[in-house]
Structure 1
Amino acid sequence: MSRPEAGPPQPQRPWPLLVVVAGVVLGLALSVLGQTTWRAGSVVVGASLLVGAVERLVLSDRAAGLLQVRAKAFDVALLGLAGVAVVVLALAVPPGR
């Protein structure tokens, strides 16, 4: 039995990862702007990681593109845990004077 010829490898789709990276960069920019915006920036970073977890969960392996690192369950768990941790820590820190 002959195997079908495999064509050239398909290029990875960068947009799911770019969405997450753009959110993290936006959150970091907010955090750097001043003492009053660090909490909002941290929440944006955490939310971006949670968006990445949802993207990885709902997109197929091929559509997830560069967001795919390991198995789907591992990627979703790691992004989700990191996102929740960042948001919880940002909200748990008491405000300064």
Structure 2
Amino acid sequence: MMVLAVVAVGLVRIAQYYWREGAVLVGGALLLAALLRALLPQERIGLVAIRGRGVDVLLYGGLGFAVLAIAMTIQGGPLNQ
């Protein structure tokens, strides 16, 4: 539920034309999903569990860092905020 809430806030910020802040929130939500997947037991993880624990942590973490890196390094363009 926490991951979904952070993504929802990120999408609202993107819709308000603060795309960089929204993208950082979405990347943070992916990192939160990786952390929760690594720490919580199988019975409590819910829909965050898609594959095996190691694969989920690797993919969520990698994608989270990629989204954060792209959001922080892109400069210029029509959405320059």
What TM-score, normalized to structure 1? Answer: 0.75
Task: Tell me the residue number matched to 1:93.
Answer: 74
Q: Which runs of 5+ in 2 are unaligned?
A: none
* Cα deviation 1:45-84 (Å, max 9, x = unaligned): 0001100000000001111122111100011011101110
Q: Which runs of 5+ in 1 are unaligned?
A: 1-17
1:23 matched to 2:6: yes
Of all paired residues, the percent bearing the same amino acid is 35
Alignment of structure 1 residues 11-50 onto 2, 5 Å: 18-34=1-17, 37-50=18-31
1:70 matched to 2:46: no
Task: Tell me the residue number matched to 1:52.
Answer: 33
Q: CA RMSD in A?
A: 1.4
1:32 CA drift (Å):
1.1
| Partner SS, residue 94 of structure 1 | coil
Aligned equivalents of 2:62, 2:24: Cα separation in 1: 14
1:87 CA drift (Å):
0.4
Q: Which has the higher contact order (CA 8 A, sep 6+)?
A: 2
Structure 1 runs (4+) deviating above 2 angstroms are none
| Greater Rg by CA | 1
| Partner SS, residue 70 of structure 1 | coil
* Cα deviation 1:9-53 (Å, max 9, x = unaligned): xxxxxxxxx21111111101101102xx21111000000110000
When the two structures are aligned, how many residues end up with a matched partner? 78
What TM-score, normalized to structure 2? Answer: 0.88
